[in-house]
Structure 1
Amino acid sequence: MTALPPEPSQDAPDDDFPWWLLALAVIGVGLAILIATNDLYTQVFRTVSRGVQITVFVTLVGFAMASILGLLLALMALSNSLVLRQIARFYVEVIRGIPIIVLLFYIAFVGAPALVWLINGVTWPLQQLGWIEPLLVRDISLLWRAILALMIGYSAFIAEVFRAGILAVDKGQIEAAEALGLSPFQRFRFVVFPQAIRTILPPLGNDFVAMVKDSSLVSVLGVADITQMGKVYASGSFRFFETYSIVAYIYLILTIGLSLALRQLEKRLRKSQHR
């Protein structure tokens, strides 16, 4: 009789000593020492790090807006209205099928002019009265066009994350909330969402980390993020190895730091769930 393999423990992976993190820390400290002691690497780091603020701003604002739109789309997909469900499905399927970089170009050079035309059309009477000036395409900065594109692109994926998390909530608890006379908003606020967030958080965190990396695509529009600053420096100095090594180093600090923070948050949520 063949012996069955032992069942994997759910807690075992969390108990493993993080050798991978130790190895990364050693490499990171070595690179930090190199940056501090080597004039060339110091200069590259100072130049490239100027784009950190833009990268963080684009990521935080874009992800916050994408999460709000994604939650709205998820609620539309789960509504009782056929029209709302079909609109949400149409949006999600179309946007998920377009690469982010194509969406960036489309929003920047097609969507922004269309938005300006629409706004000018709506405000035309006020413009004729001299109360406001006509809006120009250049008035919408490339930074905000990039943020808008990331918001639209990621909202489709986040909508599916929210929808799956909400569907994972036990229907019996929703029925119990209905029996208590809670309104739909109260049921969502006090019963559905607090339980769904435990399921939603891990994939939502992955999308957040992914947006940190995909924010580098805004460099194709000339936005002065980390990648763009590295590209400009490398093209002028021809120090491609040093420059893009520093660019990768900074992105790793951001993404690994976020991943560790999100992992700790997930552990706390699991512990609170078992109490």
Structure 2
Amino acid sequence: MLGMLGTGFVVTLQIFFLTLVGSLPLGVLVALGRMSKFKPLAWLMRFYISIMRGTPLMLQMFFIYFAPYYIFGIELSTDSKFNATIIAFIINYAAYFAEIYRSGIQSIPKGQLEAASVLGYSRAQTFMKIVLPQVIKRILPAMGNEIITLVKDTSLAFAIGVAEMFSTAKALVASQVSMLPFVFAAAFYWVFNFVVEIVLNRVEKKLNYYHD
């Protein structure tokens, strides 16, 4: 039983890390587009964020999974399930991260940006050396909440047949007529979240040299 749950947990880890790798940088781009002075881009990003946050992640996952077949007639495969899951998770979480980034960027006093301009910093240098370090510190608690939510949301992949940990536990419960697989799965999720909390707390302590 533990071996099968461990295999499912590996898939859960893959969904988690691939989502972060894709959504964290995409969220930055969406946030910058959302704040762009080019109105069509800003409105497009606002619409994207509204759709992603206003519709269920599971619905987005189903749409991405079935769209290639119903729209283009492309045959679905086992890989299609996993790929659809990753794409749905990335574009969904990027929208949430974008709003967190935006709030952090807009919290930086404009005087700092003006001072950087006077000192001859380019926009890219100002963002990377002055804005970004402060933004990371300010948004870390909100980002931490979303990342912990992501750990639990990976279980939604069972809906389209991805064999992550929850779907594995569900199958074991049905075959063994026992609740133990659910108990062990819950323990896996809790330990994983506990490790994530420890990592985030250490990062936050390292950023304490920035004071508001």
TM-score range, shorter chain: over 0.9
Runs of 4+ in 1 over 4 A off after TM superposition: none
Work out the CA distance in 2 between the residues paired with 1:230 and 1:153. 25
Identify the residue that residue 55 of structure 2 maps to in structure 1.
Answer: 98
Q: Which residue of 2 aligns with 1:57?
A: 14
1:174 Cα deviation after fit: 0.5
- 1:48 lines up with 2:5 in the alignment: yes
CA distance in 1, matches of 2:7, 2:31: 37
1:69 paired with 2:21, answer no
Q: Counterparts of 2:76 and 2:44 in 1: how far apart (Å)?
A: 29
Aligned residue number for residue 65 of structure 2? 108
Deviations 1:50-98 (A, max 9, x none): 1111111111111221112211110011111111111111111111011
1:109-136: per-residue Cα shift (whole Å, max 9, x none)? 12x4478x4xx9xxxxxxxxxxxxxx75
Q: Aligned residue for 2:43?
A: 86
Match of 1:207 in 2: 146
CA distance in 2, matches of 1:108, 1:200: 32
The higher radius of gyration belongs to 1
2:98 equivalent in structure 1: 159
In structure 2, how many angstroms separate the alpha carbons of the residues matched to 1:186 and 1:170?
Answer: 16
Structure 1: 5+ residue stretches without partners: 1-43, 121-134
> How far does residue 139 in structure 1 lie from its aligned partner after superposition?
7.9
Aligned: 1:264 with 2:205: no
- Cα distance in structure 2, aligned partners of 1:107 and 1:231: 24
SS of the aligned residue for 1:141 comes to helix
Instruction: State the one-letter code of the partner of 1:190.
Output: K
1:181: Cα distance to partner?
2.3
CA-based RMSD: 1.8
Whole-Å separation in 2 of the counterparts to 1:183 and 1:261: 33
User: Does 1:185 pair with 2:142?
Assistant: no
**Matched-pair contact (CA < 8 Å) for 2:65–2:80:** no
Report the alpha carbon displacement of residue 140 of structure 1 after superposing the two structures with TM.
4.9
TM-score, normalised to structure 1, is 0.72
Q: With the length of structure 2 as denominator, give the TM-score of the two structures.
A: 0.92
Kindly report which structure 2 residues correspond to 1:223-262, keeping only aligned pairs within 5 A, or say none. 223-239=162-178, 241-262=179-200
SS in structure 2 of the partner of residue 105 of structure 1: helix
137-146 or 60-69, larger mean C-alpha shift: 137-146
Unmatched runs of 5 consecutive residues or more in structure 2: none
Question: Please, which of 155, 158, 162 is the counterpart of residue 216 of structure 1?
Answer: 155
User: Which residue of structure 1 aligns with residue 210 of structure 2?
Assistant: 273
Counterpart residue type for residue 203 of structure 1? A
What is the total number of aligned residue pairs between the two structures?
Answer: 211
Give 1:197's aligned residue.
Answer: 136
